[in-house]
């Protein structure tokens, strides 16, 4: 490869994290959320590792993501969480994906697709109740209508009932989270009173650790799968699966007053050495971390100086006087006794760990590693 910049993905960590999550709620089914290219980690590679780790199924946002999994030979259940199908209802059936529904029009379209394909068994659908996100999902009145619509259709069955919590990781919002859970629980009781026994799921990564009442019988684990606690707290039981690595491409000796990068946002206060690293916002490294973020070189935290550009960033090498061209630079992950977490990068850039990892662009080479399969380059 022409440049050293890469994302190293530890697939063994994926398995370890899934085992820990299962231990939190051993009586629950566990679905790994692999939307957005498995949070930047590589959709197919992560799904295969999770399947080896005996996950029960997967969650994706888009039908297209589910198709990629099916084309890769993944046979476990795949739930399409966003419920946006366009004219693709028939392909959802043909690809054996599990649709989430919250609109009557989609229920009608899936019923028609079942008839058109001559499917011999009812299609299982998951209904989504909006309990306070005000984003996707239906209210209680529409939810009841959808359940009744499924009951009257020989081609459909109620396979799941779900909601999404707004702030499950935030103790300050526990009262609201419990309101959501209670609203959801009331509708679950109503569904069960009508003789249905669907999967019930509300717990995302933040909630499944902190709020046992949210767990019901299926967990939707996202950020935790990748070794990141949504709360931002250190969790020794989790193993971060991603490490961003590059190298020092050039070293400059600056005199006082010399500037670095576009628009001269950094000017050297003294004589100093800076190193250029071939990673920038075109790779998904957030530009808002300019003059705030840090990288690891020689086991030392080196401040980013100057404006992060599309392809490059520059760091202050004052703390590592022996650093030179070719030395490893770590943008995310551990080096020596220091570590930069996704939450660190998020704080420096004014955003979340979710955005940090999912923002990694396709031009950054992923290198997937596992003890059983060795090293595999992937996209």
pLDDT of 301: 98
The pairing of beta strand 300-303 with beta strand 338-340: unpaired
Domain span(s) for CATH 3.20.20.10 in the chain: 11-226
In angstroms, the CA 83 to CA 99 distance is 6
Spatial CA neighbour of 201 closest among 290, 77, 300? 77
Give pLDDT tens digits for 246-305. 999 999 999 999 999 999 999 999 999 999 999 999 999 999 999 999 999 999 999 999
In angstroms, the CA 359 to CA 284 distance is 5
How many C-beta atoms surround the C-beta of residue 344 within 10 A?
18
Catalytic residue selected from 31, 35, 85, 285: 35
Q: CB–CB of 45/57 below 8 Å?
A: no
**Structure tokens that stand for 197 in this block:** 């026994």
**Structure tokens that stand for 116 in this block:** 């058109």
Give pLDDT tens digits for 303-333. 999 999 999 999 999 999 999 999 999 999 9
Dihedral sign for Cα 277, 278, 283, 288, please. positive
pLDDT of 1: 65
Catalytic residue selected from 85, 145, 262, 281: 262
Q: What is the CATH number of domain 11-226?
A: 3.20.20.10
pLDDT band at 2 (very low <50, low <70, confident <90, very high): confident
Q: Is 190 helix (H, G, I), strand (E, B) or coil?
A: helix
> Tell me, what DSSP letter sits at residue 129?
B
Q: What is the average pLDDT across 212-219?
A: 97
Q: Is the pLDDT of residue 379 over 80?
A: no
pLDDT band at 234 (very low <50, low <70, confident <90, very high): confident
Spatial CA neighbour of 226 closest among 378, 79, 52, 358? 358
In angstroms, the CA 276 to CA 316 distance is 9
Q: Is the pLDDT of residue 69 over 70?
A: yes
Q: CB–CB of 127/108 below 8 Å?
A: no
Say whether 35 is catalytic: yes
> Tell me, what DSSP letter sits at residue 29?
E
Say whether 226 is catalytic: no
Give pLDDT tens digits for 169-184. 999 999 999 999 999 9
Q: Which CATH number applies to 242-340: 2.40.160.40, 3.40.190.10, 2.40.37.10, 1.10.1200.10?
A: 2.40.37.10
Q: CB–CB of 180/131 below 8 Å?
A: yes
- 237 alpha carbon, distance to own chain's centre: 18
pLDDT band at 373 (very low <50, low <70, confident <90, very high): low
Cβ-Cβ contacts under 8 Å for 54 (sequence gap 6 or more): 18
Domain span(s) for CATH 2.40.37.10 in the chain: 242-340
Spatial CA neighbour of 226 closest among 71, 356, 54, 365? 356
In angstroms, the CA 129 to CA 184 distance is 7
Phi first, then psi, for residue 94 (nearest 5°) are -65, -30
Q: What is the average pLDDT across 47-71?
A: 98
Cβ-Cβ contacts under 8 Å for 239 (sequence gap 6 or more): 10, 12, 13, 16, 17, 227
pLDDT of 371: 85
In angstroms, the CA 266 to CA 256 distance is 11
Q: Provide the percentage of residues in the chain whose pLDDT is more than 70.
A: 98
Q: Which residue has the higher pLDDT, 376 or 118?
A: 118
pLDDT band at 229 (very low <50, low <70, confident <90, very high): very high
Q: Is the pLDDT of residue 72 over 70?
A: yes
- 7 alpha carbon, distance to own chain's centre: 15
**Structure tokens that stand for 45 in this block:** 């590679």
Q: What is the average pLDDT across 84-91?
A: 94
Cβ-Cβ contacts under 8 Å for 332 (sequence gap 6 or more): 242, 243, 244, 340, 341, 342, 345, 356
């Amino acid at each position: 490869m022409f440049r050293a910049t890469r994302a190293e993905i530890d697939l063994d960590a994926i398995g370890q994290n899934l085992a820990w999550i299962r231990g939190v709620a051993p009586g629950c089914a566990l679905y790994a959320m692999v939307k957005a290219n498995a949070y930047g980690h590589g959709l197919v590679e992560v799904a295969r590792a999770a399947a080896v780790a005996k996950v029960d199924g997967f969650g994706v946002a888009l039908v297209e993501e589910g198709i990629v999994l099916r084309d890769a030979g993944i046979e476990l259940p795949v739930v399409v969480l966003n419920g946006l199908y366009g004219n693709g209802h028939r392909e959802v059936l043909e690809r054996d994906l599990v649709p989430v529904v919250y609109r009557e029009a989609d229920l009608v379209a899936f019923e028609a697709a079942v008839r058109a394909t001559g499917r011999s068994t009812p299609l299982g659908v998951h209904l989504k109740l909006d309990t306070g996100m005000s984003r996707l999902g239906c209210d209680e009145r529409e939810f009841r209508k959808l359940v009744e619509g499924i009951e009257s259709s020989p081609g459909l069955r109620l396979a799941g009932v779900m909601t999404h919590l707004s702030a499950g990781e935030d103790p300050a919002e526990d009262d609201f989270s419990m309101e959501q859970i209670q609203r959801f629980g009331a509708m679950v009781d109503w569904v069960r009173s009508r003789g249905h026994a669907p999967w019930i799921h509300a717990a995302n990564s933040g909630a499944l650790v902190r709020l046992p009442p949210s767990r019901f019988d299926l967990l939707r684990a996202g950020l935790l799968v990748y070794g990141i606690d949504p709360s931002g707290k250190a969790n020794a039981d989790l193993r971060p699966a991603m490490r961003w690595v590059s190298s020092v491409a050039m070293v400059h000796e600056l005199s006082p007053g010399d500037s670095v990068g576009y628009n001269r946002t950094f000017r050297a206060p003294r004589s100093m050495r800076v190193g250029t690293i071939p990673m920038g916002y075109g790779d998904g490294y957030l530009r808002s971390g300019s003059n705030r973020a840090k990288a690891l070189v020689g086991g030392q935290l080196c401040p980013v100086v100057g404006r992060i550009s599309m392809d490059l960033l520059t760091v202050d090498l004052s703390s590592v006087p022996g650093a030179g061209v070719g030395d490893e630079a770590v943008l995310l992950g551990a080096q020596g006794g220091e570590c930069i977490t996704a939450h660190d990068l998020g704080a420096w850039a004014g955003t979340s760990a979710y955005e940090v990892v999912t923002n990694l662009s396709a031009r950054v080479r992923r290198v997937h590693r596992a003890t059983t399969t060795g090293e595999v380059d992937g996209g």
